[in-house]
Structure 1
């Protein structure tokens, strides 16, 4: 097992709380994790191992020594655009044609590229993605740098405290400028990878806002946000309302582009350990360009 040190400075809002309250109520660490940290005496404050019920002061320094697995993803060198990085997390810009995480036959995923970046910068961390993008969708993907960061960020994502905004070019002129698509999504029995709107599927809600329409090209530039994160959600929902993503052959889109015109444009959240307001915007990566010509 490797050991990773995680340093957290007590913010003014947490003054007078104790370690127990911070771990349980603010960051909602699992009971098993808290038990292991307590048994390992893995938590110190200003260099001292203290009682977990001792009130904390503003700017106290908490150090958590984490037991980390040796199991690190295979590093694979690949150009990587880092959009945001600190001691706890990493946001990167995923290009088209790259899977978010590796499968049995493929080791050139974004996870492998991030593993290479971390190794090359002498950071002993396992790359842990918080969410995924389809292989041919571009944009920002968030990674945690240790197991505790992942627990907290996973919970934030699940509680919709991490806002993800997508830009898309949809076929046709969408008449309604703003709308919500509420339709459950399930597997398509007739296709191994396709999804479809299905009464027996999982609840899925997509909000969209038409930014601009282009009559000549018969395209609508839209901004989407999700209340749920179902596989292919935006692609399925836009196809369902008769405006599939341009370039999305799987869901009936036109052949306007060589990939589905979907880009994870922005990520916004309050940093769980610094309380900073984080906003990450992902530049467009396509060559030849897809979105730039319509801005």
Structure 2
């Protein structure tokens, strides 16, 4: 384990907040992490060790020494990786279809986590960074990683509190008549299939908003924009299948095999950066060749 230094500039709206309240109330950092930082005397204000009851002023600089695990469990892979946004706190990359988000077995090298590890190690960064959300193997698009334990805790809480907007585009089988609709149906495991999910009264609450962007009568396809309110496994796939319009290419849920994968792409992530307070709206280009979506948007 190694200490990594992160810096946070104090914004005007944080002024006159105590260090303690800044971590607890403003950043909503976990109590355990705050305790560790206090015990290790790991927080400095303008170069001096902090008194946790002292108040910050605009343009002050917080310096935090965070203990971070080295990334020795994920084998780095050095193939190309499309980075959509990066700073010292987080990383957003464009995941291609056909690879999983992270290894499920020892010695795997063909996952997105391997590519991220290789990308960072080229910059001599050996931290074990963590994904905040995940995408199915055959879903492409924007995927968010946290680069240190504080940002991971905060971004994970933001995702849970619906403060990270996730917009997908999909091609569904058939012609959907409604222009806008919401599917609010719980999702649980399929008792007959180990990886499949289904709408189930005993499942976890799941809500997806849909907006029809276009219909293609000749192809019997509907282009929809999907907004997730929850993050259940296969959520969009299950909800569209449930209403009789499975994703094109999604063989698991009954979609016609007209594409080599399910036609689902994580198009956009939008949220307020927890440390810079910048409004981020990150759009992921389509990676398929030939493109499944491009000609239809």
TM-score over 0.5 (shorter chain): yes
- Distance in 1 between residues matched to 2:23 and 2:255, nearest whole Å: 47
Mean Cα displacement is larger for which, 47-56 or 159-168? 47-56
8 Å CA contact 2:86, 2:92 repeated in 1: yes
Q: Describe the SS at the equivalent of 2:48.
A: coil
Which residue number corresponds to residue 23 of structure 1? 23
8 Å CA contact 2:208, 2:228 repeated in 1: yes
- Distance in 1 between residues matched to 2:149 and 2:79, nearest whole Å: 24
Gaps of 5+ in 1: none
- Distance in 1 between residues matched to 2:78 and 2:230, nearest whole Å: 33
Which residue number corresponds to residue 12 of structure 2? 12
Which residue number corresponds to residue 207 of structure 2? 205
Matched, 1:75 2:76: yes
Q: What RMSD in Å do the two structures reach over aligned CA positions? A: 0.9
Give TM-score scaled by structure 1 length: 0.98
**CA displacement, residues 85-120 of structure 1 (integer Å, 9 cap, x when unaligned):** 011000000001010011115321101110110110
8 Å CA contact 1:4, 1:124 repeated in 2: no
Q: Describe the SS at the equivalent of 2:49.
A: coil
Residue 215 of structure 1 and its aligned partner are, at CA, apart by 0.7
Which residue number corresponds to residue 227 of structure 2? 225
**CA displacement, residues 242-269 of structure 1 (integer Å, 9 cap, x when unaligned):** 0000000000001111100000000000
Q: Describe the SS at the equivalent of 2:4.
A: strand
Which residue number corresponds to residue 253 of structure 2? 251
Gaps of 5+ in 2: none
Residue 71 of structure 1 and its aligned partner are, at CA, apart by 4.3
User: Structure 1 pair 71/124, CA: closer, same or farther in 2 (3 Å)?
Assistant: closer
Equivalent residue pairs, number: 295
- Distance in 1 between residues matched to 2:10 and 2:246, nearest whole Å: 48
Which residue number corresponds to residue 54 of structure 1? 54
Give TM-score scaled by structure 2 length: 0.98
Which residue number corresponds to residue 36 of structure 2? 36
Residue 217 of structure 1 and its aligned partner are, at CA, apart by 0.7
Which residue number corresponds to residue 147 of structure 1? 149
**CA displacement, residues 177-204 of structure 1 (integer Å, 9 cap, x when unaligned):** 1000011111111111111111111111
- Distance in 2 between residues matched to 1:15 and 1:263, nearest whole Å: 40
Q: Describe the SS at the equivalent of 2:276.
A: coil
Displaced runs of 4 or more, over 3 A: none
